[in-house]
Amino acid sequence: MRSKKKNILLEKILVADYAAEGKSLARVDGKVIFMENAIPGDIVNVKLTRNKKDWAEGYITGFHQYSPDRVEPFCSHFGTCGGCQWQMLPYEKQLFYKQKQVEDNLKRIGKIALPPVLPIIGAGQHMYYRNKMEYTFSNKRFLLAEELRDASVSAKQNAAGFHAKGIFDKVVDIDTCYLQEEPTNELRHAVKKWGNENDVSFYDMYLHEGFLRTMQVRICTTGEIMVNIVFGHYHEEKINALLDHLLRSFPSINTLLYTINTKKNDSMHDLLPQVYYGKGYVMENLSAGDEAGGKDFQFKIGPKSFFQTNTKQAERLYRVTRDFAALSNTETVYDLYCGTGSIGIFLSPLAKKIIGVDFISEAIDDAKQNAAINKIQHATFIAGDVVDICDNAFFEQHGKPDVIITDPPRAGMHEKLVRRILEMEAPRIVYVSCNPATQARDLALLDEKYAVEQIQPVDMFPHTHHIENVAQLMKK
């Protein structure tokens, strides 16, 4: 270790493990050192940026030896765009560390009695697995390190791709992305080429001005394709010209929309997409599997709808949820954070009644339509906050829950909701989580009345550190 004032360089340290959020860690003289872009088995030099008594974090300045587990990333943009952080790990090793992440979080944060964690359910498809992608158009291209040293290369270039990690106003110009099947790359290249050839402005994220802003592409397992182009301001002639060009070039597009966004953020929730061609939505299928008679469920997905972005793994995730719910056609199921109703609808053939609750009214509108499409008459979807609406009058109207399904966002459940769930005293809870750390915190709170009986991790996003986890809880 070399030190000059606060400028500390650790040399030839062995990367030992993975920590939360995909960071790697090493241990030096009893202190844990966190870093990025390394895998266990690498031997590296690390420059510290933060240095506390028991832990520190820093960045790698050089590699002395690569881990024998390393593989060659398949994407030319690996390490630049900020996505697919684990491409240098073989998929079986990704699953190993994701399983370990679930186990470590539940034990370290939850501190409650737990059963053995079931083996993680991996994805059958490691590439082209996303049904939805969002691309950004920018007038500033993120430059690679070697380009920064070349005075002749300017960042003032139009780019189409993804935000560079940690840099809000520059975009990595993507050649080929392997997350979604074609024509996703062809569409992005076509819009960028049209913009350059027609001298339209690409968005400036610092000045908040420009015409071409973002594009969402959704490609369903049904083959239906929806494209939504977001513009920074309205210009009828240019909008019509671009959209007509896309329809001529890509006859496979089923629905083409455009959205005007003059805000300083890219959130879609308060914007109004306009249908230019097609029905304004696409249809997606989820298969319940042979054990449920091979039934398929259809879901209507609009430009603002939430739907699991990996359809095939969503089927596996929902089958686990259904198995953990252990329904026998007699239960009233409360589906909390129900979104567009996908879990409740998936479980509906085995339930007496489904009550879905979500605070996003547009999602509840979608859920009602999806229930009607699937001819489900014993499901009710309600917009509101569970903490506020689940009172005695609500129970008298809908019945108390026999099973509660909760699928909260990454932040987990609000403590008030946990208290309300404890008051409901449903015999069984199935907790679907996209963040095992906040799930562990909530399970510790629920431990007052509930014991965790089964735990099943599911990998929805190969080549990333993200992991879904399903826990079954039974009332003590």
pLDDT digits 0-9 by tens, 378-429:
999 999 988 888 888 888 899 899 999 999 999 999 999 999 999 999 999 9
Give the residue among 373, 370, 322 at the shortest CA–CA distance from 349.
322
d(CA 110, CA 443): 6
- The residue out of 47, 65, 83 marking a domain boundary is 65
The structural domain count of the chain equals 3
Give the residue among 330, 391, 338 at the shortest CA–CA distance from 363.
338
Q: Tell me the pLDDT tens digit for each residue of 2-37.
A: 544 467 899 999 999 998 778 899 999 889 999 998
Adjacent-strand bridge partners of 473? 429, 452
What's residue 431's pLDDT?
98
My answer on whether 186 and 119 are in the same domain is no
pLDDT band at 360 (very low <50, low <70, confident <90, very high): confident
What's residue 169's pLDDT?
87
d(CA 445, CA 441): 7
* 434 part of the active site: yes
My answer on whether 147 and 56 are in the same domain is no
What's residue 290's pLDDT?
64
My answer on whether 136 and 243 are in the same domain is yes
Adjacent-strand bridge partners of 468? 458
pLDDT exceeds 70 at position 103: yes
Adjacent-strand bridge partners of 56? 33, 51
d(CA 44, CA 17): 13
- Whether 91 is in a domain gets the answer no
pLDDT band at 263 (very low <50, low <70, confident <90, very high): very high
d(CA 8, CA 1): 7
What's residue 471's pLDDT?
98
- Whether 162 is in a domain gets the answer yes
- Whether 118 is in a domain gets the answer yes
Which class for 188: exposed (0-12), middle (13-18), buried (19 or more C-beta within 10 A)?
buried
My answer on whether 347 and 413 are in the same domain is yes
Domain of 426 in residue numbering reads as 98-125+297-475
Residues contacting 195, CB < 8 A, separation 6+: 137, 158, 202, 211, 212, 242
What's residue 2's pLDDT?
52
My answer on whether 143 and 213 are in the same domain is yes
Do 128 and 181 touch, CB atoms closer than 8 A?
Answer: yes
CA angle, corner 366, sides to 284 and 188, nearest 5? 50
What is the CATH classification number for the domain harbouring 228?
2.40.50.1070
What is the CATH classification number for the domain harbouring 22?
2.40.50.140
Over residues 360-375, the mean pLDDT reads 93
pLDDT band at 318 (very low <50, low <70, confident <90, very high): very high
Do 34 and 57 touch, CB atoms closer than 8 A?
Answer: yes
Neighbours of 392 (CB within 10 A): 8
What is the CATH classification number for the domain harbouring 397?
3.40.50.150
- Whether 216 is in a domain gets the answer yes
What phi-psi label fits residue 131: left (phi over 0), alpha (psi between -120 and 50 degrees) or beta? alpha
Token pair of 169 as six digits: 């106003």
For the chain, the residue count is 476
- Whether 79 is in a domain gets the answer no
Q: Tell me the pLDDT tens digit for each residue of 189-212.
A: 999 999 999 999 999 999 999 999
d(CA 199, CA 197): 6
Do 460 and 317 touch, CB atoms closer than 8 A?
Answer: yes
How much is the pTM? 0.93
Q: Tell me the pLDDT tens digit for each residue of 229-247.
A: 999 999 999 999 999 999 9
DSSP 3-state assignment of 196?
A: helix
- Whether 92 is in a domain gets the answer no
- The residue out of 278, 305, 338 marking a domain boundary is 278
Give the residue among 203, 190, 221, 211 at the shortest CA–CA distance from 283.
221
My answer on whether 119 and 148 are in the same domain is no
Q: Which of 75, 338, 390, 434 is catalytic?
A: 434
Signed CA dihedral, 459, 462, 467, 468: sign only:
negative
- Whether 19 is in a domain gets the answer yes
